[in-house]
Structure 1
Amino acid sequence: MKKIYSILLLLVVTLGFSQQAYYNGINFSLNGQPLKNQLAQLIITTHTKELSYSQVWNALKITDLDPSNSSNVLLVYGWENGSDDDVTNDLSRNKNDNGGSNGQWNREHVYAQSVGTPDLGQSGPGADAHMLRACDVQRNGTRANRKYATGSGNSTVVGANWYPGDEWKGDVARIIMYMYLHYGNQCLPSNIGVGANADAGDDMIDLFLTWNAEDPVSQTEINRNNYLTNANNTYGQGNRNPFIDNPYLATKIWGGLPAQDIWGTLSTTQMVAFKFSLYPNPSNDRRINIDSEMEVDEIQLININGQLMQQIQKPTRTNNTYTVENLPTGFYFLKVTADNQSVTKKILVN
């Protein structure tokens, strides 16, 4: 959903109290696989209560409530509230009108059950309330187990694939990231999305990194996360989705298009720890120079769609200067990695 940026003023400076306690022990100076491993261990060990598939019905009636009508739940992939004759595109529906018939809502596996390796089933990963969302029965059937793919506008079939809609793509991306973090190879992003892998030594694909950056966190996502993290709640699981708490965690782990740093600390910490100068910017000769006293391990050129355009590993430097040449014209993100730290800056090539 289009997002509320001022979630809590306190988060601009530090984590909220409940989040701060949850992430005690996580070393946020890490990047890549080490940070991924720490977060995975955290959400697995704190998932102390597993819901049954039937319990998810009642969980969704709480977690997916429509903020403008507490009698309704929001329907993933929906966008319209009854002004046309097509009920399959409704955004909201009575929370008790659930089931398997046309005009009702059911439980949508955002990570399609059948494409898991193995199948997610109806317990464990298949009943994880962080992944299941309320959805119109017919729209759910149209999506089926189609992979997610690039698109624009409202949710729709794209060739043999599925675009979740501009209002939902960030929600989808953060759910896929959570499932991969929690369930590993059973929930590979490449099994559920179309696109190239980001150069992260991992299975995450650029599509979800781009969606995570382009569609910031909604209040509904925050409400779901806060309810499910409390195992004392009737349908609470005990764990959180870290990418809802801070989408920039995905950037630290997998790279790609830089996402919003809700806490305002992760990206700033990196830039303080690793400094370099970049010039000329804009570039008029398709060349960028990078001055760094630290030895650079890798340089990536990423376009505004999150696609990796150029990659230089162990680049050669002359007098602490690295030069990237033959750049195509356009607006890009230049990601520079040194000593397991990455900094991304915007560049313009004329």
Structure 2
Amino acid sequence: MNKFLIALLFPVYCLAQIPAYYNTIDFSQTGNTLKNQLSTLITTTHTNELTYTPEVWDALKQSDLDPDNTNNVFLIYGYNDTDSNNDNDRTRNKNLSCHTTSCDGLWVREHVFPRSLGTPNLEYVGPGADAHHLRAIDSDMNNDRGNNRFADGLGNATVIAGGYFYPGDEWKGDVARMMMYMYLRYPTQCQAVIVGSGSATFSADMPNIFLEWNEEDPVSQYEMNRNTVLQNMQGNRNPFIDNPYLATRIWNGPEAEDKWGLLSNEDFVAENITLYPTLTTGIVYINNAQEAKSYTVYNNVGQLIKSGLTQNSIDLTNYAAGLYFIKISNEYSGKTFRVIKQ
């Protein structure tokens, strides 16, 4: 059977509070199953690959803006704008980017997943130009970080004995979520265990420090804004910014914040409702509904075309042939089914 048609036969869970970007994800799943679904999503929606020059420069001048002063960009790993040391600046004028060989006092582009640690090298295309892991950074701080692997620490960013780097208390969560994204987006080329040091006891493919940092340093408004800006440019999002608890569902470890307030709820999984047939000429039927349920029907571009209450069936007879998404909801959660109207 055609793989596309097979996929249509399986329901996915969806909640009103979960962004529509994730409508195709079955959040009742965990571990590798959920990881692979998210990997497919962020890959297929990555519809525009930025050029390293000039598009990444332009992206960072929008995505990395300080919301308190939009003339400035945040400098990753930076922590002090008031002392005499420019190297540790936290912000800088967005127009002070470096396009020469002399960059003192200017900012450059940081590959948070170092290019040289990729398997193979990330270069300056594809993963090397994916703005979800590129950040504005002071040029000297960039040199200090180099391609050092991340390790745990305390306080401000610093190089650690043994050739490791601690990104600082303010930035460690950002780093963790970027490394998780890169691993899902480029699973063989950007393995998290290559860039993160220490044990991987919660899950063999994710260093403990990233799961700990994800929980210890919650998502900031800056990260959320950045995620939306980059979706508008690249087409895809970083799921771990939208909900850090996804990392807990996939790799276990410390229980990170569930920003949707639903995935950690024991009542998350809906009743064992099924909908059939998924290839129909008009009527689709609901099975195992214990009472009338809310339903919503969306077309293939996400437009709401029908809604109501039903316990038995939904009539699509008067609608055009094509792909539809039907969501059946209860108090806590719901299932979304893909249906083809012939």
Tell me the TM-score normalized by structure 2: 0.71
Contact 1:246–1:260 (CA under 8 A) maintained in structure 2? yes
Cα distance in 2 between the residues matched to 1:14 and 1:140? 41
Is the partner of 1:267 in helix, strand or coil? coil
Partner of 2:86: 87
Cα distance in 1 between the residues matched to 2:258 and 2:15:
11
SS of the aligned residue for 1:84 comes to: coil
The whole-number CA distance in structure 1 between the counterparts of 2:268 and 2:38 is 22
Give the structure 1 partner of residue 241 of structure 2.
Answer: 244
- Return the offset for 1:271: 7.9
Q: Give the corresponding residue for 1:298.
A: none
User: How well do the aligned residues superpose, as a CA RMSD in angstroms?
Assistant: 1.6
- Using the TM superposition, give the Cα deviation of residue 20 of structure 1 relative to its aligned residue in structure 2, in angstroms: 2.1
Using the alignment, how far apart are the partners of 1:191 and 1:185 within structure 2? 11
Q: Does 1:25 align with 2:24?
A: yes
Letter aligned with residue 263 of structure 1: W
CA distance in 2, matches of 1:149, 1:47: 30
Q: Give the distance between the partners of 2:243 and 2:208, measured in 1 at CA.
A: 18
State the AA in 1 paired with 2:238: N
- Residue from 153, 157, 172 that aligns with 1:169: 172
Q: Which runs of 5+ in 2 are unaligned?
A: 1-13, 271-342
Instruction: List, as ranges, runs of 4+ consecutive aligned residues in structure 1 with deviation greater than 6 Å.
Output: 270-273
Over 3 Å counting, the alpha-carbon distance change for 1:106 and 1:270 in structure 2 is: farther
State the match for 1:192 in structure 2: 195
Per the alignment, residue 106 of structure 2 pairs with 104
Give, in whole Å, the separation in 1 of the partners of 2:139 and 2:16: 38
Note if contact 1:147-1:162 (Cα within 8 Å) is conserved in structure 2.
Answer: yes
Larger Rg over CA atoms: 2
SS in 2 for 1:227: helix
TM-score by length of 1: 0.70
1:117 to partner: Cα distance: 0.6
Deviations 1:74-96 (A, max 9, x none): 00000111x21100110110101
Task: Tell me what 1:312 maps to.
Answer: none
- Corresponding residue for residue 128 of structure 2: 126
SS of match in other structure, 1:195: coil
Tell me if the contact between 2:262 and 2:268 (Cα under 8 Å) persists in the aligned partners. Answer: no
Q: Which deviations, in whole Å up to 9, do the C-alpha atoms of 1:281-329 show, x marking residues without a partner?
A: xxxxxxxxxxxxxxxxxxxxxxxxxxxxxxxxxxxxxxxxxxxxxxxxx
Identity %: 56
Match of 2:226 in 1: 224
Question: Could you tell me which residue of structure 1 aligns to residue 40 of structure 2?
Answer: 41
Matched, 1:147 2:146: no
1: CA distance, partners of 2:189 / 2:234: 20
CA contact (8 A) 2:109 2:137 kept: yes
Matched position secondary structure for 2:256:
coil
Q: Matched residues in 1 for 2:269 and 2:40: separation? A: 28
- Assess if the C-alpha contact under 8 Å between 1:115 and 1:192 holds in 2: yes
Q: Cα–Cα, structure 1 residues 70 and 197, in superposed 2: closer, same or farther, change >3 Å?
A: same
Give 3-state SS (helix, strand or coil) of 2:95's partner: coil
Per the TM alignment, residue 126 of structure 1 is displaced from its structure 2 partner at its CA by: 0.3
Unmatched runs of 5 consecutive residues or more in structure 1: 1-12, 231-235, 274-350
Shift of 1:197: 1.2
Distance 1:191 1:140 in 2: 19
Q: What does the per-residue CA deviation read over 1:252-271, in whole Å, with 9 as the maximum and x for residues that have no partner?
A: 00001110000000011378
Counterpart AA for 1:254: W
The correspondence of residues 176-215 of structure 1 with structure 2, limited to 5 A, is 176-200=179-203, 202-215=204-217
